[in-house]
Chain A
Amino acid sequence: MLTALATTALIAAACGGTAQPSPTAALTAAGGTAAPTTAPTAAPVLSRPVEFVISTAPGGGSDIYARIWIAAMEKEKALSTSVLPVNKEGGAGAVAFTYVFEKKGDPHYIMVTLNSFFTTVITQKLPYKATDFTPLANMALDPFFLWVNADSTWKNAGDFVKAAQDNALTVSGTGSKQEDEVLFRRIQDLAKTKPFNYVPQSGGGAVATALAGKQGGVVVTVNNPSEGLGLYQASPPKIKPLCAFTADPIKEGAYKDLATCKSQGLDITDYFIVRAIVGPPGLTAAQTTFWADTFKKVADSADWKKFMTDNALQPNYLAGDALKKLFDDYNKLHQDIAQKNGWL
C-alpha cells in the first residue's frame, strides 16, 4: 500500500512537471512567432493544457482534421503546452458550440469547424451566432465533387442536370439541412431541376457507400474527395467523380485533371467545407495572433501539405480580417438558403 502511494506520488510529480510548461518556454513560443507584430503583454498566452473541442465523435468529419493538426503541432513543436482533443458530440454540433461559447475570453479552448458550425446555429435558434466566436485560422477549403455510380451513363454535369430536370432524382448526403443538402438546394435553384429526393445519412462514408451500392436508389452524391477516394480507387471502381465544385480544375493527386462543374454548366465555385479553427468569443488581439501564428506553422508543415494534395483540399490559410470576411460570407450564404427553404 505504502509503495503504491509512493509510486503514484512520484508519477504525479513527474507528470506535473511535464504538464505545466515552464513560463519561459511558453513565452519564447509566443514571443518568437509574434515578434514581427506587436507583443502588448509580456505574459505568456497559455498557462495550462489546451482543450481542442471537436463537435463530432472520434473518427467523424472534423475529428480527423483536429487530430492531424495536433499531431503536426507536436511534430513541429509549435506549442509548449499539450493539446487535448475533447469530443463533444450531439445536437448537430450544438453541444460543442455551447461549451466553447461559455468559455468567453479563455485562449485554452479552441474548436475545429465544419459547416454545421453555420447551419446548426442558424436552424436551431441557439442564443448566439457563428460570428460571435473568435476566428483564429482557416487551414483549407474542402471542395465538393459531383459523384455518380461507376456504371452510370452520365458523362458530365450537363447529363446529370438534364436528367434532374426530367425526373426527381434520389440523392444522398450527410445529415439534414447541413452542407450536402445546402449544396443540393443550390443546384436545384440554379439549374431549375425537379426537387431532389434527399436521403440523409449519418456520415460521409455512409453516403459514399450508399452511392456505390445504389442503396435505396441513390444516384448522385456531393461527397468530399477524401470520402470517396477508396471507392474510386477500388478495382473496378465503385463510384466516379464527374466534376469538382471549384474555380479551377484539380491540378495534382489522385484526381488530377478533374474538370470543374462550372465548365460543364453548373456554375457553383464558392461553396466548400471550411476547415478552420475558432476560439471562444472575446479573445484579445494578442491571443488571436498567437493562435493564428501557431496554426501557420501547421499549415506550412510537410505532413499537412501532403495530406492536402492526397485529398484534393484547396490550401487556403487565412487569418485576421480575411478570415472574418470568409465567416461573414458563409454565414450570410447559409442564412439565405435557410430562409429560402423555410428551415428557420
Chain B
Amino acid sequence: MDVLGSLAGGFATALQANNVLFLLAGCILGLIIGVLPGLGGTSGVAILLPISVYIARDNSATTAIIFLAGIYWGALFGGVVTSILFNIPGEPWAVALLFDGYPLAKRKGKPGVALASSFMASWVGALFATILLTFLAKELADVALRFGPAELFAVFVLSFATLIGLGAESPMKAVMMVAFGLLLAAIGFDTITGEPRLAFGQISLLSGIGFVPVTIGLFGIGEIIASADEAGIGYVEKIAARVGLKDILETFAALRKRIWLVIANGVIGFFFGSLPGHGATAGSFLGYGLARQWARNKEDFGKGEISGIMAPQAAADASAVGSLVPMLALGVPGSPTSAVMMAGLFIWGLQPGPLLFIDHPDFVWGLMASIYLGHLLTFLICLTAVPLLAMIMRAPHGILTPFIVIISVIGAYSLNNDMKDVAITIVFGIIGYWLRKMKYPLAPLVVALVLGDSTERELRKALIGSQGEWSVFFVSPISAILIALAVVLLALPLIGQLRRRGTAQA
C-alpha cells in the first residue's frame, strides 16, 4: 500500500535521533506551557517559533515542525491540569473539563483518576484521529469544504440541545442562564454589519466580553470565594494529587467500559477540527453533550462522571489533530495553533498546502509519524510527571489561595494582553459566587457564551447567502437532519415530564 509505505518512511524520519530529541524537548516544553496560566498551544508555538528557525537551519524543516508539533501535543495535555486541579481553564477547549473534572478531583477526592482519565482519553482519541489523518486527509478536506453556514448552524443548535438542562435544578433558571450567555456574547461589534451593540458608548465594551476571562471568573475565582464563605477564609480543600498505580488501573477499567464513547468522540472531534476555523472548543462541548445524552446516568454529569471528562478531552485532542488537515491539504489554517505553525512553514521557506505531499514528502510523513510518537511520549511523561505538578496542591492554604487568584489574573490578562479582561474576571468571580448561592447553574451560561457568537454568525451568514430565506436550513439534508435531531432531543424530556404528570394525576 502506498500510504503505509509513506508512513513507514515517515517513521524512519521521525525516529532519527535528533528528531526524537527535539520531539521530546517540544513535548516537555509544551507540557510546561500548557500548565502555565494564560499560555497555551497557540502562544507556546508562537513563543518558540524563533528557536525553530535555528532548528530548521541546523537540522531540517522536518525537525522544526516535529518540535513545534511536540509543543502542540504537550500543551494539549498540560492545559487540562489547571482545569482539573484549580477549576481554572488553561485553554478554551478545557472549559468543558470544568464540569466534571474538578468535581471528581475535589468532591470525590480522586484527582488521580480525573487526571489519568483525561490523559488516557486524549491519547486514545488522538490515536484514532491520527489514523484518520493518515489515510483520509484529502477526502476529509473535500467533505469539510461542503460544510457551509447552514450545516454549521445546525451543529451548534444540536450542541445546545444536548447541553440544556446541564446541572440545573430548576429548568427555568437554566433557560435564563442560556439566554443571558447569548446576551453577553452579543456585546461589542456585530460581526456581520460591524455596528456596535450593547456597548453604551464605552470603547472598552466594543471588543466584547471574552468567554475565557468570564469562565475563569465564574469557576476559578467564584469557587474560591464560595469556599471561603462556606468554610471560613483561606479554606481550600486539600487534594492528594498523586497518580498511584491503583488510580491508573481504576481509570483503565473505566476507559475499557467507555472505549466506544472515546473513539466516537475522537472521530467527531477530528471532523470538527478539520473544518477551518471551528476547532477544539466547539468539538469538546458537542462531545460532552453527546456523552451526556447517550448515558443512562444523566444526573451524574456535572458531579464528577468520568465520561464527562473522557468525552470532551478525546474530542478536543482529536480536533487538534484534525486541524492539520486543512493546513496540509488546502493550505489554510484549521485552528489558531496550526495558523502559527503555518507561519513557521513560511519562515523556513516552505509553502503550506497540497504541494507539500509532492515536493516535501519527508516533511509531511515525518510530521504524521511524529504525531503517533509525540502523543505516546506525552502520555507517558504525563503519567509520571503528574505527582510533581500536583505538589503545588499541597502548598499551605495561606499561599495557595492568593496563588490561585494570581494565576487567574495571569490567565485572563495573557489572552489579549489587556487589563480589561482581568476586570471582567474579578467581576464575574463575584457574580459567579452569587449565582452559585442562588442556585443558578453556571454550565449553561458558559456554553451559551462560548457558542453564542459562532451560532449567530453562521445563522446570519446562511441567511445572507439565501437572501433572507429561512428555508435554507431545511434544503441541505445534513442541516435538516441535525436540526430535527436537536428538536427531538429538546422535546423528549418535556414529553417525559408531561407523561409523568399525566400518570400522577390519573
Show the binding face of A for B, using Cβ within 8 Å: 57-60, 63-64, 67-68, 70-71, 74-75, 85-92, 94-95, 98, 123-124, 126, 168, 170, 175-177, 197-203, 205-206, 208-210, 212-218, 227, 229-231, 233-235, 238, 303, 306-307, 310, 343
Contacts and interface: CB of A to CB of B under 8 A. Distances in A.
Contacts of A176: 189-194
A215 B330 contact: no
The 9 closest A-B pairs by CB, nearest first: A230-B331, A59-B339, A216-B465, A230-B353, A215-B148, A213-B145, A90-B207, A205-B332, A176-B194
Interface string B454-490: 0001000110111100000000000000000000000
A262 to B, nearest CB: 28
A75 B53 contact: yes
Nearest to A123: B194
Nearest to B336: A59
A199 B332 contact: no
B203 interface: yes
Contacts of B193: 176
A170 B465 CA distance: 6
Given A74-B50, A206-B276, A213-B145, A199 B337 contact: no
B331 A229 contact: yes
Given A87-B417, A88-B418, 16 more contacts: A58-B42, A58-B45, A58-B336, A60-B336, A70-B50, A87-B416, A91-B189, A95-B418, A177-B194, A208-B332, A216-B462, A216-B464, A235-B354, A238-B145, A303-B347, A310-B351
Interface centre among B194, B207, B326 (most CB of A within 10 A): B194
A25 to B, nearest CB: 19
B431 interface: no
B412 interface: no
B465 A218 contact: yes
Given A68-B346, A89-B416, A94 B145 contact: no
Given A89-B416, A213-B147, A230-B353, A57 B336 contact: yes
A306 B354 CA distance: 19
Contacts of B462: 216
Contacts of B146: 213, 215
A233 B353 contact: yes
A230 B354 contact: yes
Contacts of B149: 215-216
Given A199-B464, A203-B277, A210 B332 contact: no
B112 interface: no
A127 to B, nearest CB: 9
A231 B330 contact: yes
B contact residues, range: 35 or more
A90 B208 contact: yes
B351 A229 contact: yes
Contacts of A98: 203
Given A58-B339, A64-B342, A212 B148 contact: no
Nearest to A209: B276
A306 B416 contact: no
Contact of B148 (A198, A210, A306): A210
A59 B353 contact: no
A202 B453 CA distance: 11
Contact of A205 (B148, B333, B457): B333
A67 B49 contact: yes
Contacts of A85: 46
Contacts of B191: 175-176, 200, 202
Contacts of A57: 42, 336
A29 to B, nearest CB: 18
Nearest to A53: B417
B466 to A, nearest CB: 7
Contacts of B49: 67, 71
A217 B248 CA distance: 51
A67 B326 contact: no
A74 B351 CA distance: 21
B146 to A, nearest CB: 5
B393 interface: no
A303 B53 CA distance: 12
A279 B117 CA distance: 49
A238 B326 CA distance: 13
Contacts of B332: 205-206, 208-209, 227, 230-231
6 contacts: A58-B339, A201-B461, A205-B332, A209-B145, A213-B145, A229-B353
A123 B349 CA distance: 37
B203 A94 contact: yes
A206 B152 CA distance: 13
Contact of A59 (B42, B147, B330, B465): B42
Interface string B140-167: 0000111111100000000000000000
B50 A71 contact: yes
B465 A197 contact: yes
Nearest to A237: B354
A85 B48 CA distance: 11
Contacts of B417: 86-88
Interface string B241-264: 000000000000000000000000
A82 to B, nearest CB: 9
Nearest to B195: A176
A293 B468 CA distance: 53
Interface in B415-429: 416-418
Contact of A95 (B276, B340, B416): B416
Nearest to A120: B194
B491 interface: no
Contacts of A59: 42, 46, 333, 336-340, 342-343
A214 B462 CA distance: 12
Contacts of B329: 230, 234
B331 A233 contact: yes
B355 interface: yes
B206 interface: yes
B46 A67 contact: yes
Interface string B384-395: 000000000000
B188 to A, nearest CB: 8
A58 B147 contact: no
Given A230-B332, A307-B346, A215 B192 contact: no
Contacts of B145: 209, 212-213, 215, 238
B43 interface: yes
Contact of A216 (B53, B150, B338): B150
Contact of A233 (B203, B206, B355): B355
A230 B352 contact: yes
A177 B416 CA distance: 23
A118 B15 CA distance: 50
B53 A95 contact: no
A71 B345 CA distance: 12
A197 B464 contact: yes
A208 B338 CA distance: 17
Nearest to A200: B192
A85 B340 CA distance: 12
Given A95-B416, A234-B354, A205 B46 contact: no
A68 B343 contact: yes
A158 to B, nearest CB: 25
B426 to A, nearest CB: 19
A90 to B, nearest CB: 3
Contacts of B461: 199-201, 216
Contacts of A70: 50
A133 B354 CA distance: 40
B207 A202 contact: no
Contacts of A234: 329-331, 353-354
Contacts of B43: 58
A58 B340 contact: yes
